[in-house]
Amino acid sequence: MDSFANKVVIVTGAGQGIGKAIVQAFSHHEAHAIIAEKDEEAGLETQQWLNDKGSKATFIPCDVSREDAIKSLIQKVAEQEGRIDFLVNNAGVSRFKPISELSVEEFDEVLSINLRSAFIFSKYAAPYLKKTGKSAIVNIASTRALMSEPDSEAYAASKGGILALTHALANSLSPQVRVNAISPGWIEVRDWKKASEREEVIHREIDKTQHLVGRVGTPEDIGRAAVFLCSGESTFMTGQNMIIDGGMTVKMIYET
């Protein structure tokens, strides 16, 4: 895999969970990772964790629901680093409620953070990404964009929108910028939260056998994929959705 030395990647929602593993993966390949995170405790903790490993990582507070905050972060990174090579739109929230109880405001909030922020980050980062000529955007969607369970309307709509946004951006920003999506399945994040909320994780055997590979996914699985989609190993890929779910969505499960 490529070295990303001297390259800059912005990862949104990078203080915990999948985002934290993504910045770790890029840092492992020598990139300067920008931790765009609203939670100051989580952002500073992740920055310190990576800096202690000798990696270059910088926490910049950002409320991704605000256009002005996103625009300010992009400008700050561009001015300080002189370049932006990669963008990973990962920030997301969920509100799983019966449709009769889900307010319009809550629905709008989920779409604002999960979908609208990916558009705004891409919009303001695009001029800098185009300058490098070999840049990439990775949008974190979900298998819930393709399949659902009850009470998931807001989250499913936001993730489905990310897939559509991905192929639209791939067309609009070509050929300088490649744009792909990752749809994670069940990824266990409880042990990747900030220290004050971290939990020990024990999975049941039925949880493991629900996946063809025999285990639940980890944030590192997604981190490695994000690095691949930004590397020279994937230069013929754009507008695509990479499903990483251990085979869960292709396994038929019958109740007996």
Residues 6+ apart with CB under 8 A from 198: 190, 191, 192
The CA distance from 256 to 253, in Å, is: 10
The CA distance from 47 to 211, in Å, is: 33
Residue 212 CB coordination number (10 Å): 13
Residues 6+ apart with CB under 8 A from 209: none
Which residue type does 107 have? F
Residues 6+ apart with CB under 8 A from 165: 115, 118, 119, 122, 139
Q: Which helix (H) or strand (E) holds 75?
A: helix 67-81
CB 245 within 8 A of CB 184: yes
| Positive or negative torsion for Cα 57, 112, 82, 232 | positive
Assign 36 to helix, strand or coil. Answer: strand
- By annotation, the residues acting in catalysis are 155
Q: How far is CA 6 from CA 25, 31, 56, 83, 182, in A?
A: 15, 6, 10, 9, 25
